[in-house]
Amino acid sequence: MVKGSDNFAGATRISNRVEYGDHYTRVDRKKVLKSNVEYMTPEGYLYKTDGHGRITHVEGDLSLGAAKRNNYAQRNVEGKNPGDDGGHLIASIFKGSGDIDNLVPMNANLNRYGEYRALERRWEQALKAVPPKDVKVKIQPVYRGDSHRPTEFQVEYKIGNNEWILDRLPNP
């Protein structure tokens, strides 16, 4: 665990802001994310994509709730290896989208039982505390080459008035 700052090192600044819903396009009739855009979900999460249409950054203030899952999108996320899930960057328990605009290939153990899931539980406990604590997150999937499967996740978060913490989670 590394204490972080308000910015990820090397985070890309993208100025092509599009309305939510306009961040999709079609390639051979398949819905994909547009390249080099940023979009804000109705729940207030800000996402950025790179030149390959991959999610490179998401940030926001978490809130508890439920979001609709898209099992088709989870099963068919681009770049998924055997043993991977279509992992939500922002979990559905925090109103994270169930569509491709919030899904990346994630090792199933990391997603279901490992460090990523442990962070989600920690955030959930903070939001359920009495009184509830604010939870802010910045998540950066890290890619190699033009692969759509992240090699790791740089997860920066802040609970209440505590300092930012940066965790680097390998995606084996």
Catalytic residues: 88
Q: List the Cα angle 4/7/12 in 5-degree steps.
A: 135
Q: How far apart are CA 151 and CA 106, in angstroms?
A: 9
Q: How far apart are CA 125 and CA 128, in angstroms?
A: 5
Q: How many other β-carbons are positioned within 10 Å of the β-carbon of residue 77?
A: 19
Q: How far apart are CA 98 and CA 96, in angstroms?
A: 6
DSSP reduced 3-state for 75: helix
Token output for 136? 């802010």
Q: How far apart are CA 22 and CA 50, in angstroms?
A: 16
Q: How far apart are CA 105 and CA 75, in angstroms?
A: 10
φ/ψ of 57, rounded to 5, equals: -165, 140
